[in-house]
């Protein structure tokens, strides 16, 4: 039998790879709609959460909508209109082809139009309203790709979403349908629903609902750390 320890002494395998099993990440999902004010609020809050625990989680956004073959553009009905379906596709394609840092910056840029978020307070709901109307537009997708250091043409994101920025690329529309169906199997109905380790832990739907263990960033960080320790038997 190969002696992996000997190989690691020889420097062929770094010893940490031999000795340490990879850790188990906590699945964390936000059920969202790209133009929904509740989603923007949750995403803003999770910007703080990700800064603390991004290395401990498998993070994704799942898009709530209805698959609908009568819809000519997206084969889906999105609550805030076809522009929202396009915005969902832009974000899904960014997540598919770029690392978390880039696609998360892309989502934040969608939400804030590249303005300095630090100047905005998420305690003022009206601040979302102006920016929301730009989500899903081709200019927004291309401008935000640039801001998030994603090359629209060569990264795969543009081809996925449609190089024209329409959000109607075949692959992107397929990703949208998959995401909607995944949301159904997860029982996601309200934007925004926060799921940690496959359990719904909090909803913001106009106001906070069903948040037994709190709704501040620190509450989510605490729950994620606890789930991570449990999953990794620490």
The answer to whether 71 contacts ligand NAG (rule: CB under 6 A) is: yes
Q: How far is the CB of 65 from ligand NAG (least distance, A)?
A: 9
- 175: exposed, middle or buried (Cβ count in 10 Å: 0-12, 13-18, 19+): buried
Length of the chain, in residues: 234
Q: How far is the CB of 76 from ligand NAG (least distance, A)?
A: 8
The answer to whether 66 contacts ligand NAG (rule: CB under 6 A) is: yes
The answer to whether 218 contacts ligand NAG (rule: CB under 6 A) is: no
Measured from the CB atom, the residue of 48 and 77 that comes closer to ligand NAG is: 77
The answer to whether 189 contacts ligand NAG (rule: CB under 6 A) is: no
User: How far is the C-alpha of 108 from the C-alpha of 48, rounded, in Å?
Assistant: 12
Half-sphere exposure of 191 (CA within 13 A, CB side): 23
Measured from the CB atom, the residue of 54 and 77 that comes closer to ligand NAG is: 77
C-alpha pair distances (Å), 193 with each of 8, 31, 55, 83, 208: 45, 5, 21, 21, 10
The answer to whether 77 contacts ligand NAG (rule: CB under 6 A) is: yes
Q: How far is the CB of 232 from ligand NAG (least distance, A)?
A: 42
- Determine the interface stretch with ligand NAG among 13-21, 63-71, 127-135, 168-176 (rule: CB under 6 A): 63-71
User: How far is the C-alpha of 59 from the C-alpha of 80, rounded, in Å?
Assistant: 24
Where b means 16+ CB within 10 Å and e means fewer, 38-66 reads bbbbbbbbbbebbeebbebbebbbbbbbe
Q: Which of 65, 99, 73 is nearest to 162 (CA)?
A: 73
Among 6, 15, 68, 153, binds ligand NAG (CB under 6 A): 68
Query: Contact letters (x/-) for ligand NAG, 39-58, by CB under 6 A?
Result: --------------------
Site of interaction with ligand NAG (CB under 6 A): 66, 68, 70-71, 77
């Amino acid at each position: 039998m190969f002696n992996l320890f000997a190989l690691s002494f020889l420097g062929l395998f770094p010893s940490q790879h031999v000795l340490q099993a990879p850790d188990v990440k906590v699945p964390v999902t936000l059920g969202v709609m790209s133009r929904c004010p509740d989603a923007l609020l949750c995403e803003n809050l999770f910007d703080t959460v990700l800064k603390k625990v991004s290395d401990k989680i498998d993070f994704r956004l799942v898009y709530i909508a209805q698959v609908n073959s009568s819809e000519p553009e997206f084969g889906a009905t999105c609550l805030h209109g076809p522009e929202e379906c396009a915005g969902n596709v832009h974000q899904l394609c960014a997540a598919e082809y770029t690392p978390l840092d880039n696609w998360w910056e892309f989502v934040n840029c969608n939400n804030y139009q590249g303005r300095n978020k630090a100047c905005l307070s998420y305690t003022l709901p009206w601040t979302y309203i102006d920016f929301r109307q730009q989500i899903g537009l081709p200019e927004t997708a291309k401008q935000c790709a640039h801001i998030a250091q994603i090359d629209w043409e060569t990264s795969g994101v543009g081809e996925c979403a449609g190089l024209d920025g329409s959000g109607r690329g075949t692959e992107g529309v397929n990703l949208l349908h998959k995401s909607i169906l995944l949301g159904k199997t997860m029982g996601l109905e309200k934007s925004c629903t926060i799921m940690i380790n496959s359990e719904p832990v909090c909803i913001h739907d106009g106001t906070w609902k069903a948040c037994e263990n709190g709704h501040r960033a620190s509450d989510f960080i605490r729950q994620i750390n606890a789930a991570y320790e449990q999953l990794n038997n620490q």
